[in-house]
Each structure stands twice: as structure tokens, then as C-alpha cells.
Amino acid sequence: DAKTTQPPSMDCAEGRAANLPCNHSTISGNEYVYWYRQIHSQGPQYIIHGLKNNETNEMASLIITEDRKSSTLILPHATLRDTAVYYCIVNPDTGNQFYFGTGTSLTVIP
Amino acid sequence: EAGVAQSPRYKIIEKRQSVAFWCNPISGHATLYWYQQILGQGPKLLIQFQNNGVVDDSQLPKDRFSAERLKGVDSTLKIQPAKLEDSAVYLCASSLMGLANTEAFFGQGTRLTVV
């Protein structure tokens, strides 16, 4: 039931900013945008989430467009340990379900 | 703070056998999820509990899969009988409550191989 579209793969040079896009054109008013990542052989790890405003934490920044139809996750200074699959999820405003798509496989290159 | 605990980490069984997985969520988390992740795919939600009640089990293959959370804390997921296509990682997650602005935390998963 994923309602998001992400590129299947991206590369980023170590030390540079990684900008991961996500389209969620059918998002409704009270649905949150969540980002998770999954490093090989581990469970998904929460990164950040937001509703309308841009958000920043110690891991990343989330930029949501004004019409809320797309967002970008920014890792400001990518390291090799950021190599993972990144999932953008639209969280229903009832029940707190997390439906994962296929995500974006980010490879950070030395 | 202790994370979501799952056991076992790995399990190999023959087809038609039964298997059970155990999950202990983060203390105080009312919502518990079970996911199935087949190699190369994103996690698929199987079932969601709020305390000991089922919120969503629409994607649980009920002819062979069952899950329970009797006391509203830990949970077990069972497969009986297993098929080859059940080979996957089974992930458990928990969140503080069933609200849309509450993140879920995942365990390391149980890797099941059906031969």
C-alpha cells in the first residue's frame, strides 16, 4: 500500500550532501512523511518525520514542499556508514501503520 | 533504553514444519508490529497490535500464519505449516502509541530459511 515513489538507486561522494527525493502526490492533510533506513542485515532505523514544516535532527534534514506532494531527505555530510536503503513512508492519520515500498539504495563512494 | 528484542536470530526448517518467533517490545510501547521482508523487497506489514487487540491483520495469510499478544506485552508469530516462499526475515517493531506522529522502533529480525 506504499503511496510514495523513490528512485531505485543513487550514489553520493563521501563528505558531500546526499539528497534523496520522494514523491507522495496523493498525500492527505493529516498524513505524516517518515524516513527510515535499513543497513544490510539490520532492522529499519528511524531517521526523521514531518507533517508540513521542514525538520532537522542530528541525523538529517527533511524538506517538504509547500503543496506536500514531495519531500527530500538531506544527509549533510555523507559517510560510508550511510550506505543503506532509504525508505520514504506516508503514515496514515489513523492507526500509525508503516507501509514500506522498495526504497532508494544509497551508495556512498569513497 | 533496551530496544526491541527478537529471538531466535536464525531458524532453518523443512517445509511443512511449524515455527514460532518471539518479540519483546520496548517497555511501555502499546503498539506492536510484525513484518515480513523477502530478500530484495521492503518490509511488508503482517499484523499490528494495540495492547492485546488487533488493529490491522489485512496482509496476514491467516490459513498458515497466526500471532498473539495475550498480555499486551510480548508477542509470538507462528507459521504452520511452512512453505518455501515463507523464507524471509521477520521483523518486529513497537511504538509508544497508535498515533500518526509516533515513530516505530525495529528489532534485528529473525531470518527464516525453509528448505
The shortest CB-CB distance from B101 to any of A32, A95, A102 is to A32
CA distance B101 to chain A (A): 7
C-alpha cell recorded at residue A13: 561522494
- Name the pLDDT band for B35 (thresholds 50, 70, 90): very high
- Contacts of residue B34, Cβ cutoff 8 Å, sequence gap at least 6: B23, B45, B46, B47, B48, B67, B75, B77, B90, B91, B92
Mean pLDDT of all residues belonging to chain A: 93
Task: Give residue B70's pLDDT.
Answer: 82
**Residues B51-63, mean pLDDT to the nearest whole number:** 93
Backbone phi, then psi, for A81, in 5-degree steps?
Answer: -70, -10
Task: Give residue B100's pLDDT.
Answer: 64
**Residues A38-47, mean pLDDT to the nearest whole number:** 94
Q: Which residue of B has its CA nearest to A31?
A: B100
Task: Give residue B23's pLDDT.
Answer: 97
Tens digits of residue pLDDT in A3-18: 899 999 999 999 999 9
B100: chain A residues, CB-CB within 8 Å: 30-32, 91-96
Contact A43 B33 (CB under 8 A): no
Backbone phi, then psi, for A22, in 5-degree steps?
Answer: -150, 130
Task: Give residue B1's pLDDT.
Answer: 62
Residue A2, pLDDT > 80, answer no
Tens digits of residue pLDDT in B41-54: 999 999 999 998 99
Mean pLDDT of all residues belonging to chain B: 94
Task: Give residue B98's pLDDT.
Answer: 67
CA distance B40 to chain A (A): 8
Task: Give residue B97's pLDDT.
Answer: 80
The shortest CB-CB distance from A96 to any of B4, B35, B102 is to B102
CA distance B109 to chain A (A): 6
Q: Pick the range with the lowest mean pLDDT from A26-35, A100-109, B5-14.
A: A26-35
The residue that leads in pLDDT, A88 or B71, is: A88
Residue A29, pLDDT > 90, answer no
Task: Give residue B72's pLDDT.
Answer: 85
Residue A45, pLDDT > 80, answer yes
Work out the end-to-end distance of chain B between its first and last CA atoms, rounded to an integer number of angstroms. Answer: 37
Q: CB–CB of A74/A10 below 8 Å?
A: no
C-alpha cell recorded at residue B73: 506485552
> A residues 61-100 near B, CB within 8 Å?
85, 87, 91-100
Contact B42 A30 (CB under 8 A): no
